[in-house]
Amino acid sequence: MKKNRNIIIITIILIIVAVALFMQNHYSTLNKYETDFSVNDTTSITKIFIADKNVNSVTISREGDRWILNGESLANTKIVNTLLSTLKRIKVKSPVSLASHNSVVKRLSSIGKKVEIYQEVYGIDMFGVKLFKHEKLTKVFYVGDVTRDNLGTYMLMDGAERPYIVYLPNFRGFISPRFSPLIDDWRSHVVFHDKLADIKSLKLYFAERDSMGFRLEVIDAMGNYEITRLYDGSKVKSYDTLKVLNMLTSFADLRYESRLNNILPPQKIDSIVNSTSLFELTLINKDNDTTYMKCFKKNRLSEEIANQYEKLTPVDHDRFYGLINNGDDFVLMQFYVFDKVLYPLDYYLN
């Protein structure tokens, strides 16, 4: 009798241990999924989709060594790399407390941004053998707002019950702005990205100084150019080759400061683009692709103030407006960045 009782007790203990181990393993597996926000191999990411609860959404897709925004234009490589680094380095600090759970979930459902991560995976990936490569949706999660101490961000894995506080090691701040669904936040700011060997010709026109405008044709790679005055079509016989070379090499990387289409009122933009231009710059590369920008003065003061106080300088000498990308983008540019390609003709003459 005593022996049977011992067997029953041992059996009950074994059952309890087995159930405990099962529950622990089940919880561990669930917990791992619920906290699996990071991506160890960001080089395998092929596409990222981000959307808010309104109408804003972006799709950033990898094409070779470039990232394309919404299948149309170049994305800002620096911003994309920041996001990729964030996805690789983010860590979970802790689950949201039970007291805050309902309010955090409610906030996530109203203002959370949905993030979809697509990666290049293989149907067979065993013992170094990789076959049947394809794109797969690997993660879906929601990014909420910042914690009270401004050092964490609320995030919730799709299908999970519990949100978590996520942070970036060695970074004081929150990461939610890095998951922006706004197109302007991802646009490439590059205006010119042309190497010296790829430039075929360029034209610089000054509306208020037509005698200073010119057209330059690249004759060969030995530093021979043909420069023509725009106002009368005459050829320039003597020019400073080094100055011309410095100007042409500056087209390798020229970027605007910010896009203003959604910042300035449309009426204001229309007024500016219909005014007399400051200068117009056209570059044609060896593939006959044309990059054109038309630029305008930027008033430092409002027109009302400038008209009342003539002694005050009404023109901003640090920045100017530009119309680029076939007139689709109205942007703010810095003279400090573009000055090296905006010298008038007399600067190059011997």
Cα–Cα distance, 269 to 329 (Å, whole number): 11
User: Strands, DSSP E only, in the chain?
Assistant: 45-51, 57-63, 66-69, 73-74, 91-95, 113-126, 129-146, 153-157, 164-167, 190-192, 199-205, 214-218, 225-229, 254-255, 258-259, 279-285, 290-296, 319-324, 329-334
Cα–Cα distance, 157 to 143 (Å, whole number): 9
pLDDT: is 8 or 211 the higher one?
211
Q: What DSSP string runs through 267-318?
A: HHHHHHHTS--SEEEEEEETT--EEEEEEE--BSS-HHHHHH-TTS--B-SS
Judge whether residue 76 has pLDDT over 70. yes
Note whether 180 and 205 are same-domain residues: no
pTM more than 0.75: no
pLDDT of residue 311: 47
Note whether 132 and 174 are same-domain residues: yes
Cα–Cα distance, 278 to 1 (Å, whole number): 105
Mean local confidence (pLDDT), 57-62: 96
Q: Decide if 12 is inside a domain.
A: no
Note whether 205 and 339 are same-domain residues: yes
Note whether 58 and 96 are same-domain residues: yes
Confidence bin at 123 (pLDDT 50/70/90): confident
Mean local confidence (pLDDT), 136-150: 93
pLDDT of residue 185: 92
pLDDT tens string 19-43? 555 555 544 444 778 889 999 999 9
pLDDT tens string 155-209? 999 999 899 999 999 988 889 999 999 998 999 999 999 999 999 999 999 998 8
pLDDT of residue 13: 72
What does pLDDT average to over the chain?
87
Give the pair of three-digit tokens for residue 275: 């005014």
Strand 129-146 and strand 153-157: the pairing is antiparallel
pLDDT of residue 324: 93
Cα–Cα distance, 205 to 283 (Å, whole number): 12
Judged by average pLDDT, the poorest of 114-128, 146-160, 220-234, 309-323 is 309-323
pLDDT of residue 29: 45
Note whether 229 and 141 are same-domain residues: no
Judge whether residue 294 has pLDDT over 90. yes
Cα–Cα distance, 149 to 233 (Å, whole number): 66
Judge whether residue 300 has pLDDT over 80. no
Final residue of a structural domain among 135, 151, 185? 185
Note whether 158 and 289 are same-domain residues: no
Does residue 157 contact residue 143 with C-beta atoms inside 8 Å? no
Note whether 333 and 208 are same-domain residues: yes
Domain range for 308 is 190-347
Please calculate the CA angle 83-84-90 and round it to the nearest 5 degrees: 80
Into how many domains does the chain fold? 2
pLDDT of residue 223: 81
Query: What three-state secondary structure class fits 185?
Result: helix
Judged by average pLDDT, the poorest of 103-112, 245-254, 308-317 is 308-317
pLDDT of residue 1: 56
pLDDT of residue 28: 45
Confidence bin at 102 (pLDDT 50/70/90): very high
Q: For the chain, how long is the longest CA-to-CA vector?
A: 120
pLDDT of residue 21: 52
Judge whether residue 5 has pLDDT over 90. no
Q: In the beta sheet, which residues pair with residue 129?
A: 126
Note whether 313 and 203 are same-domain residues: yes
Total residue count of the chain as it appears in this document? 350
Count of Cβ atoms closer than 10 Å to residue 174 Cβ: 21
Confidence bin at 116 (pLDDT 50/70/90): very high
Note whether 272 and 299 are same-domain residues: yes
Cα–Cα distance, 228 to 61 (Å, whole number): 43
If we measure between CA atoms, which residue out of 156, 140, 153 comes closest to residue 50?
Answer: 140
pLDDT of residue 303: 54
Judge whether residue 12 has pLDDT over 90. no
Judge whether residue 139 has pLDDT over 60. yes
Final residue of a structural domain among 185, 209, 229? 185
Final residue of a structural domain among 185, 216, 232? 185
Note whether 343 and 204 are same-domain residues: yes
pLDDT of residue 27: 44
Judged by average pLDDT, the poorest of 18-22, 44-48, 108-112, 180-184 is 18-22
Note whether 299 and 177 are same-domain residues: no
pLDDT of residue 317: 78
Note whether 340 and 277 are same-domain residues: yes
Judge whether residue 276 has pLDDT over 70. yes
